[in-house]
Amino acid sequence: MKFFADTAEIADIKELAATGLLDGVTTNPSLIMKSGRDFMEVTREICGIVDGPVSAEVVALDHAGMMREAEVLRKIADNVCIKVPLTIDGLQTCKALTSDGTMVNVTLCFSANQALLAAKAGATFVSPFVGRHDDNGFDGMELISDIRLIYDNYDFETEILVASVRHGLHVLQAAKIGADVMTAPPAVIKGLVKHVLTDKGIEGFMADWAKTGQSI
């Protein structure tokens, strides 16, 4: 499963990229706002740090406006992935862009039917929001299972990009289901390495090593 960082914070992206674990980055208007930086500037910088897809979201709601904005965004770098909402206009834009060879991430997916439409429109990625789905009384991971089944039934090439990931259990469940990608805040990704027994093991090894009086 590919790991994308859901952030626009450059320091966090650089830290994760240095581990070799980072396959891409997703951004959205809210994350750009939190960064306090210019949208085009920060997107260009992120594209220079990671080799994989960097999702940059349009803000227009009509097809013509989305296409105008996409034309600007895809000139930033070759690894820009245009992010569009799962609406009729968004799907029309997705079809037009992917037909022209541009990567597209169809976002704000909350049903398997929506995911089916995104795949039929040729989306590179579809982003089901599992955390927000859970928040509204639904089972976010059941949604991922349904999408995986449908995509496998018809050999759709669209990759399932699990979004709104809140914790390590979401990551584990997505991997068990067979999701293609998950995107999470840097803190969630870094938290995957943590385990109390790992910490205790290191503590014990270091205590024993100190007793030897040796150095490497």
The active-site residue out of 83, 95, 194, 200 is: 83
pLDDT value at residue 60: 97
Rounded percentage of the chain residues whose pLDDT exceeds 70: 100
Over the stretch 29-51, which tens digit does the pLDDT of each residue have?
889 888 888 999 999 999 999 99
pLDDT value at residue 33: 87
pLDDT exceeds 90 at position 215: yes
pLDDT exceeds 90 at position 133: no
- Between the CA of residue 151 and those of 34, 82, 102, 165, what are the distances in Å? 34, 21, 21, 21
Helical H segments across 7-158, by residue range = 10-19, 29-35, 39-49, 63-73, 88-99, 112-120, 130-135, 140-154
Q: Which domain holds residue 193?
A: 2-212
pLDDT value at residue 29: 87
- Supply the CATH number for residue 38's domain: 3.20.20.70
Rounded to the nearest integer, the mean pLDDT of the chain is 96
Please say if 176 is a catalytic residue: no
Count of domains forming the chain? 1
